[in-house]
């Protein structure tokens, strides 16, 4: 069977690495000649909205999937017209692409979110911030990632700077939540509605970018697993979801507040390659191709650490016992995710040795 990826980044790369042992084959569409997936599969180098490239891309594929929620909806519509099978579908993509639709979906399903409001003008921003009081975060409705397209508003004095940074785009204003921690749930659902859930992970961000993930149970003895799974089930049912879905939560006073979802495999699930019986990448492929889902059980305690901005020499890392290195072969740039490390059976000492290398 052959799968097509819209986008050829590290997620497509890791899906392919998970799918080759199953005998699967892959093709990706990405305008970047040096995209991380390009040297592992057939690569069509073109923009995702190029009709000729889409026709060529869709030939002979059993299923098409995305590796970014920013794929234009028109691209999926075009592919559906050519008879392609696409998982997850347009509804999931369109909902998670726009923070306003996404948060409204959570709200309609009774899943708690930070109080939010659509902002269509400078006047509305002024009015909301002044009348509600407190601190906020202003976000672009579309295309934000790794904390990009966000501005923190601590008081009305910050409105000018926030508008200068983001004004003119479609915006959403959220109340700033003083949460206790962040966590995420990776779920997978097949076309018959069978679901599996990975253990909840505790996430730590630095400058809005994910830095580490570890089992929630290592961090806290408050069990939130069943609550998180109940929220995920409702969302996946609502979206007729097929594939891996990630939901990011804030933890406040022992309860979950949904922040956002990603209709794809996710950075906070990279640990599953070595730490779970079946990785998120393999389970996504199984789900979208109609194969039985694999066990999501934890195999080993772990800590996942992102490599951001600068890739240390492999020889300086690989002497650490239990360290699994993933280098995406990307050009180094400040704040860019270049790879990740999964540390099995982690200790504070090993973690500190790694962070010294990352500095
Ligand atoms: P990514 O795609 O990397 O997950 P993003 O850029 O899409 O991130 P969010 O996940 O919404 O954006 O926000 C990034 C981080 O900013 C969150 O993980 C959290 O640490 C902080 N943050 C976002 N919204 C709020 C909020 N309402 N209150 C407090 N902190 C927030
Ligand atoms: Mg996020």
Look up the domain containing 326 and give its range: 181-358
Q: Which atom of ligand 1 is nearest to the CA of 148?
A: 6
125 and 226 share one domain: no
Ligand 2 (ion): residues with CB under 5 Å are: 248
- 321 alpha carbon – ligand 2 mean position (Å): 31
Q: Which atom of ligand 1 is nearest to the CA of 146?
A: 3
318 and 252 share one domain: yes
> Quick check: 283 and 297 in contact, CB under 8 A?
no
- 208 alpha carbon – ligand 1 mean position (Å): 6
What CATH number is given to the structural domain containing 28?
A: 3.40.50.20
Q: Which ligand is nearest to the CA of 116?
A: 1
311 and 224 share one domain: yes
Taking alpha carbons only, the member of 153, 149, 154 closest to residue 260 is: 149
pLDDT of 148? 87
161 and 78 share one domain: no
Report whether pLDDT(208) > 90: no
pLDDT of 196? 98
Q: Which ligand is nearest to the CA of 140?
A: 1
pLDDT of 1? 97
200 and 215 share one domain: yes
Which of 126, 151, 175 finishes a domain?
175
- 103 alpha carbon – ligand 2 mean position (Å): 13
> Quick check: 28 and 41 in contact, CB under 8 A?
yes
pLDDT of 147? 79
Q: Which atom of ligand 1 is nearest to the CA of 178?
A: 29
pLDDT of 280? 99
- 132 alpha carbon – ligand 1 mean position (Å): 21
What DSSP line would sit under 235-299, residue for residue?
HHHHTT--EEEEEEEEEETTEEEEEEEESS--GGGTTHHHHBSS-HHHHHHHHHHTPPPPP--B-
Q: Residues 313, 319, 320, 322: is their CA dihedral positive or negative? A: positive
Determine the residue of 151, 250, 259 to mutate for testing ligand 1's pocket, defined as the one with the most ligand atoms within 8 A of the Cβ atom.
259
pTM metric for this prediction? 0.96
Query: Is residue 145 situated within a structural domain?
Result: yes
**CA angle 96–99–101, rounded 5-degree value:** 70
Query: Is residue 110 situated within a structural domain?
Result: no
Determine the residue of 9, 143, 150, 151 to mutate for testing ligand 1's pocket, defined as the one with the most ligand atoms within 8 A of the Cβ atom.
150
- 41 alpha carbon – ligand 2 mean position (Å): 29
Report whether pLDDT(284) > 90: yes
pLDDT of 339? 98
76 and 123 share one domain: no
Beta-bridge mates of residue 187: 197, 245
- Measured by CA distance, the residue closest to atom 7 of ligand 1 is 145
Query: Is residue 335 situated within a structural domain?
Result: yes
161 and 271 share one domain: no
pLDDT of 11? 98
70 and 159 share one domain: no
- 93 alpha carbon – ligand 2 mean position (Å): 16
What CATH number is given to the structural domain containing 134?
A: 3.30.1490.20
pLDDT of 146? 78
pLDDT of 145? 80
Q: Which atom of ligand 1 is nearest to the CA of 145?
A: 6
132 and 47 share one domain: no
Question: What's the pLDDT tens digit per position in 38-91?
Answer: 999 999 999 999 999 999 999 999 999 999 999 999 999 999 998 999 999 999
Question: What's the pLDDT tens digit per position in 127-153?
Answer: 999 999 999 999 999 998 877 899 999
Strands 63-66 and 2-6: parallel
How many Cβ atoms from other residues are within 10 Å of residue 254's Cβ?
11
- Residues contacting ligand 1 via CB (< 6 Å): 114, 137, 144-148, 174, 176-177, 182, 205, 208, 248, 259-260
More confident residue, 268 or 359: 268
119 and 214 share one domain: no
197 and 345 share one domain: yes
- 34 alpha carbon – ligand 2 mean position (Å): 26
Question: What's the pLDDT tens digit per position in 87-133?
Answer: 999 999 999 999 999 999 999 999 999 999 999 999 999 999 999 99
211 and 335 share one domain: yes
Total number of domains constituting the chain: 3
How many Cβ atoms from other residues are within 10 Å of residue 229's Cβ?
17
pLDDT of 241? 98
- 147 alpha carbon – ligand 1 mean position (Å): 6
């Amino acid at each position: 069977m052959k799968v097509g990826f819209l986008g050829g980044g590290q997620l497509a790369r890791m899906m392919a690495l998970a799918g080759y042992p199953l005998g699967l084959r892959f093709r990706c569409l990405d305008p970047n000649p040096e995209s991380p997936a390009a040297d592992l599969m057939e690569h069509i180098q073109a923009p995702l909205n190029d009709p000729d490239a889409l026709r060529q891309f869709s030939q002979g594929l059993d299923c098409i999937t995305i590796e970014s929620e920013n794929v234009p909806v028109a691209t999926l519509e075009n592919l559906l017209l050519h008879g392609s099978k696409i998982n997850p579908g347009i509804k999931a993509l369109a909902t998670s692409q726009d923070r306003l639709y996404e948060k409204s979906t959570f709200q309609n399903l009774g899943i708690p979110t930070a109080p939010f409001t659509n902002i269509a003008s400078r006047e509305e921003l002024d009015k909301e911030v002044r009348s509600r009081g407190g601190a906020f975060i202003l976000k672009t409705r579309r295309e934000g990632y790794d904390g990009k397209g966000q501005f923190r508003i601590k008081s009305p004095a910050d409105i000018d700077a926030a508008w200068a940074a983001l004004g003119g785009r479609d915006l959403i204003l959220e109340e700033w939540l003083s949460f206790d921690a962040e966590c995420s749930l990776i779920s997978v659902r097949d076309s018959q509605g069978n679901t599996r859930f990975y253990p909840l992970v505790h996430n730590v961000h630095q400058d809005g970018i994910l830095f580490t993930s570890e089992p929630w149970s290592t961090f806290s003895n408050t069990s939130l697993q069943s609550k998180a799974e109940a929220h995920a089930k409702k969302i996946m049912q609502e979206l007729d979801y097929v594939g891996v879905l990630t939901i990011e939560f804030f933890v406040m006073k022992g309860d979950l507040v949904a922040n956002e979802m990603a209709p794809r495999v996710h950075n906070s699930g990279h640990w599953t390659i070595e730490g779970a019986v079946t990785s998120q990448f393999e389970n996504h492929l199984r789900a979208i191709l109609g194969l039985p889902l694999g066990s999501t059980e934890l195999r080993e305690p772990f800590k996942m650490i992102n490599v951001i901005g600068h890739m240390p020499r492999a020889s300086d890392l690989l002497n650490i016992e239990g360290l699994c290195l993933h280098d995406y072969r990307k050009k180094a740039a400040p704040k860019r995710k270049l790879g990740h490390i999964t540390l099995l059976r982690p200790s504070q000492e090993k973690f500190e040795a790694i962070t010294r290398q990352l500095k």
